[in-house]
Amino acid sequence: MGSCAINARTIVMAKTILIPTDLHVGSLSALKAAIGTTGSEQLNVILMHAEHLPDGITDLLFHSPRRELRRRMGSAFKEALAVLRNHHERRLVGICVEPFNGGNAKAFDQFLRARGVDEIHVSGSYRLRRGSRSLDPMPLIRAASAPLIIHGSSQAVVPGDAATVVDHLQFLFDR
């Protein structure tokens, strides 16, 4: 996905939003909802994937968070992201996927400030899937200094349900 480098034009004209992701298509519903509710503003989107760092010294030495993200992104996620990017190309200045490995609110606030995040958008109807090293970002997001916007119903969707995946794909590709 794109680099998160922000040029001067982006800083002046675009709102930077952060959306937590589990690298599955369903997590992109928050992106589509954010696009629909931010009016005509241009957006710089940071999709954040939170996970713990490896425990072993050898694992840490050879750990590359961006390489891990690229390896974990499935083709369905990449395709859905490309469709959203192409469909909303005039509004989306940039989209990137960023790893977050901090474990406390102070580290998360620093992450937000360093990237110039204006708002955090989450889906109220999709619960992020957690892998073996996944970090639940919601406690950090709730404690963050940036405004939090929750889209959709508060009824949680069970990840992995085949009907749920189809529903999310239809939602993402409906115009």
The count of structural domains within the chain is 1
Q: Is residue 2 in a domain?
A: no
**At 172, is the pLDDT very low, low, confident or very high (cuts 50, 70, 90)?**
low
Tell me the CATH number at 89.
3.40.50.620
Any residues with CB less than 8 A from the CB of 16 and at least 6 apart, and which? Answer: 6, 10, 43, 44, 45, 46, 115, 116, 117, 118
43 pLDDT higher than 60 = yes
User: Is residue 93 classed as helix, strand or coil in its secondary structure?
Assistant: strand
For residue 31, being part of any structural domain is answered with yes
Q: Convert the pLDDT of each residue in 9-40 to its tens digit.
A: 445 578 999 999 999 999 999 999 999 988 88
Higher-confidence residue of 155 and 5: namely 5
In a domain? residue 114? yes
Could you tell me the residue range of the domain that residue 124 belongs to? 8-173
pLDDT digit string, tens, across residues 100-134: 988 899 999 999 999 999 999 999 888 888 777 77
Whether residue 109 is contained in a domain is answered as yes
